[in-house]
Structure 1
Amino acid sequence: MNLHKLLRTCLNLVGIAAVSISTLSTAATAQSLQPPVPLARQQIWSFLRREAEDRRESRNGGPRIPGQCELTPRDQLVWNRTPLFIWQGLNRVGLSSPNQGILWQETATAGEEQVYRVAHSGAPLEAGTYDWQFFMIAPTHVYATSFEIMDDEAYERIAAELETLQADLEAERADAETIALARAAYFTQQELASDALQELFSVSNPSEEMREGQAELIQIFCPQEKTGK
């Protein structure tokens, strides 16, 4: 079994949640709360592959640091206000914003696949643009990528939909991993790739299938460059 089969399971549960919303709410309320019709498993996987391809195309011709690859967040709108930073490459990172300056800096330790993971542990980020900075020698960063935390209204709408979705999944006795996969599926429907990836990489004590899926995603988004002899 791989992540594709797990996604199919979570999609079935997302469908159950959508039915529950429509039966418990008035027609108008249900329309505003009900998540979009779940994409097929193949469509969700295609979304992630397309996202990876779009990222690679967007940086063609630009300056690149060998081995540097940001998985999430990356140059896009983000819902989660306590984002998880996942990347390969330089291990000294920081976060800053135009209004607040430097929020934090950290030297990370790589895990499996030489992947770094740092969770934002401070106060939840406010709506606005942030720079994820990378350093060779502090305090001058040598590379940065930006992302935007969505506005309060959009954040609250999605938070309400996720709360309803999760409540219905818990009523079906779904485990934490299945719920995370369902949330990831929901984020792909909203075209929030970074949030979908964060869900997939935030599972505590992931199953073997989930670990294999994470490794596959790393290869999709950060393929090893081949060099000629």
Structure 2
Amino acid sequence: MRNLLISTLVLSAVASTSLAILPEQVVLAEDTKEPSLLVRAYRNLFNKKEPPIKPRNGGSRPIGSVCMISPDAPSVYRKVWSDRPLFLWQGYASTIAVRHPGSNINLWIHPAVHTQNITYTGEPLQPGQVYNWVVNGGQFVPFQVMDKEGRDRISSELQNIEKQLKSTGANTEAIAIAKANYFAENNLWSDVLQQIYSVPEPSAELTAFREDTLQKLCQPAIANNSE
């Protein structure tokens, strides 16, 4: 079953590299062609009966707070595969940091004034451990790194996806989208976005996916307090 999923992702990634489909702008009839991986990932994130992520009402946040997008805060800890996760938010942040729960000591801290997404660059986070992602020294979201067995299994499957795609001549974006859709199929929301944001020069379609996802999750957008 796993090998079938990987093969499907590889074939779909190759096919979708030439498609100009934006997540919110496509309506697919039952007899039309297979949707692109971007559309499939979007559906996995938002259109399930019980979606892994839920849009937040931006107006309900306290004034000055930040919409912490990834990792987010469901009813239980959000699990992430990556031991160097992406932190993604909307709103003004001077710093972001990682701490152990209940501790005020930063394991890692990074200035964040001129960006709204940063990939963790500290020592690799430990499998199975819970951490707090902290914004501006106070607002935080807990998340948990997947256990070693799960991480190793997924690492092997991602290597297979990348190897097969490279053999077809697929570009960096196609590989990232295939990996993102793999994570979406497994409800690993934060890792989906990490792949989507890993492409240094995204296409118009991928840029639209990013923007649409942010708008879906954090509306109304928070004004930048630095202005």
Q: Which residue of 2 aligns with 1:94?
A: 97
Identity %: 29
- C-alpha distance 200-124 of structure 1, shift in aligned 2 (>3 A): same
Q: In the alignment, is residue 152 of structure 1 matched against residue 122 of structure 2? A: no
Q: Deviations over 1:55-107 (max 9, x none)?
A: 538x998x645452122122300001111111112412211124994212222
Which of 81, 84, 95 does residue 82 from structure 1 map onto?
84
Q: Let me know the Cα RMSD of the aligned residues.
A: 3.2
Which secondary structure does the structure 1 equivalent of 2:138 belong to? strand
Which secondary structure does the structure 1 equivalent of 2:194 belong to? helix
- C-alpha distance 53-166 of structure 1, shift in aligned 2 (>3 A): closer
Q: In the alignment, is residue 44 of structure 1 matched against residue 41 of structure 2? A: yes
Which residue identity is paired with 2:72?
A: R
CA distance in 1, matches of 2:176, 2:80: 17
Q: Is the 8 A contact 2:44 2:185 kept in 1?
A: no
Which residue identity is paired with 1:144?
A: F
Which secondary structure does the structure 2 equivalent of 1:153 belong to? helix
Which secondary structure does the structure 2 equivalent of 1:54 belong to? coil
TM-score, length-normalised on structure 2? 0.70
Equivalences, count: 186
Q: Deviations over 1:14-58 (max 9, x none)?
A: 3479xxxxxxxxxxxxxxxxxxxx99855532222254763538x
Q: In the alignment, is residue 187 of structure 1 matched against residue 189 of structure 2? A: no
Which residue identity is paired with 1:168?
A: Q
TM-score, length-normalised on structure 1? 0.70
Unaligned runs of 5+ in 1: 1-9, 18-37, 136-140
- State the shift of 1:150 in Å: 0.5
- State the shift of 1:160 in Å: 0.4
**Mapping 1:3-82, distance limit 5 Å:** 13-15=9-11, 43-50=40-47, 51=51, 54=54, 56=56, 64-66=62-64, 68-75=66-73, 76-82=78-84
CA distance in 1, matches of 2:205, 2:173: 10
Q: Compare 97-106 and 73-82 and name the one that shifted more.
A: 97-106
Q: Is the 8 A contact 1:49 1:220 kept in 2?
A: no
Q: Compare 208-217 and 167-176 and name the one that shifted more.
A: 208-217
Q: Is the 8 A contact 2:56 2:218 kept in 1?
A: no
- State the shift of 1:163 in Å: 0.5
CA distance in 2, matches of 1:173, 1:11: 15
Q: Which residue of 2 aligns with 1:224?
A: 220
